Structure 1
Amino acid sequence: MKTREKVARKIKNMQRYVKFLREHSASEDDLLKDYLLKSAIERNLQLAIESSLDIGEVIISSANLDKPEDYPSIILILGKNGVIPMDFAQEFQEAAKLRNILVHMYTDVDPTVIARILEKNLDDFDEYARYIAIYLESEHE
């Protein structure tokens, strides 16, 4: 499967998870009161982040860029190599750090942080997808 096809499939999945998050946006109080909602939001957020990281790994591999040491470095490598703007990479790498909390320190997930992300940061995934699409178009012209 070609890089563009792999990335397109992963972007589609990421957008599906983000759509769920938008449709089920919740306040900190909602998250504290509704365990099922909290669990579904945390899982879909994790999957959206995982998808974004998978996209980065596909591009890094296909372009023979530096091998990432950890998840945040995937995003930084994309920034350093002009795939996404570096200022955006520095902000978006926080998503990779959150992924580690969601997966490994799940008892420490702060509902305030999750509610803030739902309110203010879901558009970051759309912005990431746009940058990736622009990069792929420029690489195949």
Structure 2
Amino acid sequence: MYYVNVEQIAVRLDTIPELTEALKALASDWKGELLQGLAQERALHLAIETVTDVGSYLIDGFIMRDASSYEDIVEIIGGEGVFPAELQESLTELVKLRKPIVQDYYAWQRAELHPLTVKLTELLPAFKSAVESYLKREL
């Protein structure tokens, strides 16, 4: 019997619509201003944390193999069929941004619209839907 913390997964997945809305707004009105750059940086960071937190809850709850990195979290849950294979590359690309955003923030190019800002507006809702379907199927 598995103990999957469905409540905490849901809390994190429930941030996705708001996050997606913010990313859409940033992408549609991008001027490269400092506040936009900082908002984009934070939105990307929240997207990373959402995906990795949800992934960690799934790994722990379903007793999947231990992850050794953020990329590994995505690889493990992808391999377990949590989301469709076509999301794997983009989700991996997303979590690889964690180090540049969190540790190398001083070098982050805030004036540039990051390509994932636009891509995440479809990727995050697809991830949310896939996780919810996986939970319904497995529980």
Task: Please give the range of the TM-score, normalised by the shorter of the 2 chains.
Answer: 0.7 to 0.9
Q: Distance in 2 between matches of 1:127 and 1:54?
A: 16
Kindly tell me: are residues 2 and 65 of structure 1, through their superposed partners in 2, closer, same or farther at Cα, counting changes over 3 Å? closer
Aligned to 1:50: 49
1:63 aligns with 2:62: yes
Identity of aligned residues (%): 24
CA distance in 1, matches of 2:102, 2:34: 17
Question: Match for 2:11: what amino acid?
Answer: R
Deviates more, 1:11-20 or 1:91-100: 11-20
**Structure-2 change in CA distance of 1:120 and 1:108 (3 Å):** same
Partner of 1:78: 77
TM-aligned CA distance change 1:106 to 1:17, over 3 Å? same
1:13·1:48 contact (CA, 8 Å) conserved in 2? no
Aligned to 2:10: 8
Contact 2:64 2:76 survives alignment (8 Å): yes
Offset at 1:57? 0.5
Q: Tell me the CA shift for residue 113 of structure 1.
A: 5.7
Deviations 1:29-58, CA, capped at 9 Å, x for gaps: x22xx1112111211221122111101100
Per the normalisation by structure 1, the TM-score is 0.85
Instruction: State the 1:63 CA deviation.
Output: 0.3
Q: What code does the residue aligned with 2:46 have?
A: L
Deviates more, 1:62-71 or 1:92-101: 92-101
Q: Is the 8 A contact 1:14 1:47 kept in 2?
A: no
Match of 2:131 in 1: 132
Summarize deviations over 1:1-48 as a string: whole Å, max 9, x none: 962211110011233222222123244xx22xx111211121122112
Give TM-score scaled by structure 2 length: 0.86
Give the Cα–Cα distance (whole angstroms) in 2 for the partners of residues 113 and 67 of structure 1: 34
> Quick one: higher RCO (CA 8 Å, sep 6+), 1 or 2?
2
Unaligned runs of 5+ in 2: none
Richer in helix (by share): 1
Q: 1:65 to 1:95 in 2, by over 3 A?
A: same
Query: SS of the counterpart of 1:88?
Result: helix
Residue 99 (structure 1) shift: 2.0
